Amino acid sequence: MPVVFSDTSEWSTMVLPAVWALLSAFFLLGFVLVSAIFFVWLERKVSGRIQDRLGPTRVGGKFGWLQTVADGVKLLCKEDSIPAAADHFLFRLAPYLALCGSFVAFVALPFGNGVVARDMGVAVFFMLAVLSSEVFGVIMAGYGSGSKWSLFGGIREAAQVVSYEVPRTICVLIPVIVAGTLNLTEIVNQQNGFFWNWYIFHDPLNFIAFWVFFICGTSSCKRAPFDLAEAESELVAGFHTEYSGFRWLLFFMAEYGSMAAVCGIAVSLFMGGWHTGILPFDPALKLGESMGTAGMILGNLVNVVVFIVKGWGGIFVMMWVRWTLPRLRIDQVMMVCLKYLLPISCFLLVMIGVWQLMIPDIVSMVWKYGSAAATVILTAVWLINVWRKPSLSPPGVTGWATRPPALPGSSAGKEQAVAGV
């Protein structure tokens, strides 16, 4: 028997929320999956450029997309086996639990002005709590695999994540105290306007808190130099040693999803969220006033693109760090957290209260504009140095900068050796 609604209010209170929930889940899941595919491609390109790996810089067509597609097909077609000594229920459940912990965090993440699946008053701590649940999947995978190496990897990850969650959460409190709310949408709206209104430039405490949060977020995502949950040089492959095929893929989708969520929190709290930083107004509100609903939608498209670009920029920095720094030992990882990051975060928490109560507004204004100007100048100098990078051509030799060096022992390599290149 069909359901009949007596009035429009009943329709709006029962049906529309359910439809919006389904659409939000569909779009968020698509965003996480597409982002994971893009991150796989980007990871290969970043590692190839930083470590001079010739394969990732050339294979897979013009931009290397074919290699990413080949990897996906390989993982989907690969045999998905379960060890005889494993707990089959826990072994199967672990990757899905890890992925859910990463995916559900996006429910409270605002991509634009009102573009959020569920606008929560405690969105910040909801995201942190949900992201922390990913470690249960890691422990379950290590315990359920029936392998001591997997179990060691899972316990290492538990110790690491629980430790780094403390300074990470304390650093989140710094901009929350300044904003006076836990609602991410309200926090981002308070950073409207030019980029010097972002909380990273609000005071030196927020500036330091951003970097401490980013370090702790990198550790919570199991990224090098903090990837002691895997540590292939010590534990074969850590907690996912016994996994292959699609279940192995789910763990890495969860990792990339966590990276996107952590960078989304950092962008929302410290870097203006969806605001461009070069416009004195919010495009969604400005176009909405002049064009109505169409302008609101168009402006929010701009906001979503800006937010995603900022978040992907943070993920690029995580990859940059991974392929630049060596892996730390487990004692060094714990020492960095307990001996340095935790005291620094506690000091920042105390001092932000002092700053809010005792520092005059003129000092805050001087710091805000001065730090923003210094950032622009340093960024411009860095870009100029990168653009004016000296050529690698030896004196009297042309074409070296555009032609990669040949492999030693090959005929071309011998010709270059004879020519003194």
Tens-digit pLDDT profile for the chain (421 aa)? Answer: 444 445 555 555 666 777 777 888 888 888 888 898 899 899 888 888 888 887 887 787 777 888 888 888 888 888 888 888 889 999 999 999 998 988 899 999 999 988 898 888 899 989 999 998 888 898 899 999 988 888 888 888 888 888 999 999 999 999 999 999 999 999 999 999 899 999 999 999 999 999 999 999 998 888 878 887 777 667 777 888 889 888 888 888 888 999 999 999 999 999 999 999 998 888 888 888 878 778 888 889 999 999 999 999 999 999 999 888 888 888 888 899 999 999 999 999 999 999 999 989 899 999 999 999 999 999 999 888 878 765 544 455 444 444 455 555 555 555 555 555 4
In a domain, 2, yes or no: no
In a domain, 292, yes or no: yes
In a domain, 295, yes or no: yes
In a domain, 392, yes or no: no
For the CA atoms of 211, 213, 215, 221, the dihedral, rounded to the nearest 10 degrees, stands at -150
Which residues have C-beta within 8 Å of that of residue 256, sequence separation ≥ 6?
32, 35, 36, 39, 40, 315
Give me the number of domains the chain comprises. Answer: 1
In a domain, 11, yes or no: no
In a domain, 359, yes or no: yes
The C-alpha atoms of residue 417 and residue 421 are separated, in whole angstroms, by 6
Exposure b/e, 318-343, CB count within 10 A at least 16 = b: bbebbeeeebbebeebbebbeeebbe
In a domain, 410, yes or no: no
- The parent domain of residue 316 ranges over 82-383
Closest CA to 138 of 105, 101, 94, 104: 94
**The predicted structure's pLDDT at residue 390:** 59
**The predicted structure's pLDDT at residue 400:** 41
In a domain, 53, yes or no: no
pTM, two decimal places? 0.87
